[in-house]
Amino acid sequence: MKNKKPLPLIEKLELVDTGTEGQSIGRHNGMAVFVKNAVPGDVADVQLTRKKNKYAEGKAVNFHTLSDKRTDPLCRHFGVCGGCKWQYMKYEEQLAFKQKQVHNQLVRIGKLDIPPILPIIGSKNVYYYRNKLEFTFSNKMWLTEQQIGSGKEFGNRNALGFHIPGLFDKVLDIDQCHLQAEPSNSIRDEIKRYALENELTFFDLRQQTGLLRTLIIRTSSLGQTMVILVFHSHEKETIEKMLGHLAKKIPQITSLQYVINPKRNDTISDLEVHLYSGEDCIYEEMEGLKFRISPKSFYQTNSQQAYELYKVAREFAGLNGNEIVYDLYTGTGTIANFIAKNALKVVGIEYVDAAIEDAKINARLNGIQNTSFFAGDIKDVLNDELVQKNGKPDVVITDPPRAGMHEDVVKKINELSPEKIIYVSCNPATQARDLGLLKDNYAITHVQPVDMFPHTAHVENVVRLERKQ
């Protein structure tokens, strides 16, 4: 077999923009070059790692000029860990690029007619803003370039941390993460210390062996902490000793639970969760409303910004108390219950059965009596029979996953012809696609980006549409 020809080095490439995946972009001979570990404004030599007809990918290997948009990253795992790719970019610059991303997706790519985009709502906390993290146990610790270069022997390769991007069975050992507030780091470190001291086995993803699989930590603004440990097999005595130690060592844990997962994937949605100690849930609060969060519940991972996001949706809806609102992709009914006091009736639809049960519990918990929730595939549930029983919507709020709405759902919204549509999106690209299917009947009147995830390229965007007369 012939050796592949090495890809070229581009010298002194100026980086001028960012991509949706967090890379920076330069142009060379009319071709876009997506570059890792660089910031717009940098001038760098770039070693190409992939080359196609219309674009190339590469890594900056030598810098000639450093951008004034740069700042020092806080985390020592930066550059190896797959998260927080923009941590070396000043936060105000991150916001500017996210605002530009929304404009590009809606106008330049989507060809949509929009009003001036409102200034992006930044996150008050740019670190320690997440209320949920999931760590993976592995006996295949990823060795960094520094570790390899140290010449040390690493006989024990047990790790508790995050997956290396693109390598499903390699995990970077994390000793401090700046995404979630204490006691998150203390919990993770104590679990790892106990596991090593007691010679517990870490999971081998290829061989499907080992006791310890994953660790989920959930926190709330009310000071509650949920820990879910996932084990590969039911070694009862070993598990109870570990959980007993953790409950005694870290009393801030208000909900300690565990799962036995013998499957070949890490999802726990179809598995039983066992309560070891404390409550079986934690609670989040907004404007006096309490929201129950169980181990499998979805809740926006930035609680503070979720409140800002929901306020935008409520403001854009402009409810006066007489409207029937349909909340599509309602999840655990957070938006539905949040706006219920401003509407005549709210109908929430979600495809995850467990989420709908949580939505109903949250309504009862807060004494809300004008919400109804339905589980099932939204393109099937949103039908004439549902509308006949619940009334034709005056307002539709939709908050779909990254893939956007199914084409049949968009078609049905057009058919129902509500006065207003509030489209909350975590992916402006699929949002732009769906808005294109609505533009014959609806005009876009407001566009509001919201930053939920500082130091990443992700941006949330809320669009208000009004029916054309």
CA 189 – CA 195 distance, rounded (Å): 10
What residues does 291 pair with on adjacent strands? 284
**Residue of 75, 81, 84, 426 marked catalytic:** 426
Checking 162-166 for CB contacts under 8 A at 24+ apart, the result is 162/81, 162/82, 162/83, 162/135, 162/136, 163/82, 163/136, 164/80, 164/82, 165/82
Whether 426 is catalytic: yes
| Exposure string over 179-206, b if 16+ CB within 10 A, otherwise e | bbbebbbebbeebbeebeeeebbbbebe
| Structural tokens at position 143 | 């060795």
The residue whose two tokens read 């595939």 is 377
For 394, residues 6+ apart whose C-beta sits below 8 A from its C-beta are 322, 323, 324, 325, 418, 419, 420
Going by C-alpha positions, the residue among 144, 433, 453, 109 that lies closest to residue 306 is 453
**Annotated active-site positions, please?**
426
